[in-house]
Amino acid sequence: MHETSNIILKIKQLREDVGWNQAALAKASGVSPAAISLIEKGERKLSMMVARKFASAFKVSIDELTGERSEAPEEAVAFFRKWQGIEKLEDGDQEMVNNLIDFLEKKNDQS
């Protein structure tokens, strides 16, 4: 099965495990019910930003949601704990922060 399909199945499973319909997940995650419906049908790509919102709503790690195992260094864990509030920003602001991080990474790679 395709990796994205596994994530979609995991989202549905978690949603059903807590007894939520799509509207309840929408309220808990801040993602529109229409977007959730399209994602669960495989008609819309699941962005990392939305995946993080779902993980937060379900109170699970992003690794648990995606089925990945990570060996994150302690510095990375500390960074994500510090910046987890990014989820509370509006989508456009989150995108701006992500773009800035991408820019700085590319700048450092060129150094």
pLDDT of residue 39: 92
In 3D, which of 45, 105, 47, 53 has the Cα closest to residue 84? 53
Q: What is the pLDDT of residues 45-60, one digit of tens each?
A: 888 899 999 999 988 8
- Residue ranges of the chain whose pLDDT lies below 50: 1-2
High-pLDDT (> 90) share of the chain, %: 29
- Spans of all domains in the chain: 3-66, 74-110
Task: Work out the number of other CB atoms within 10 angstroms of the CB of residue 14.
Answer: 19
3-66: CATH class: mainly alpha
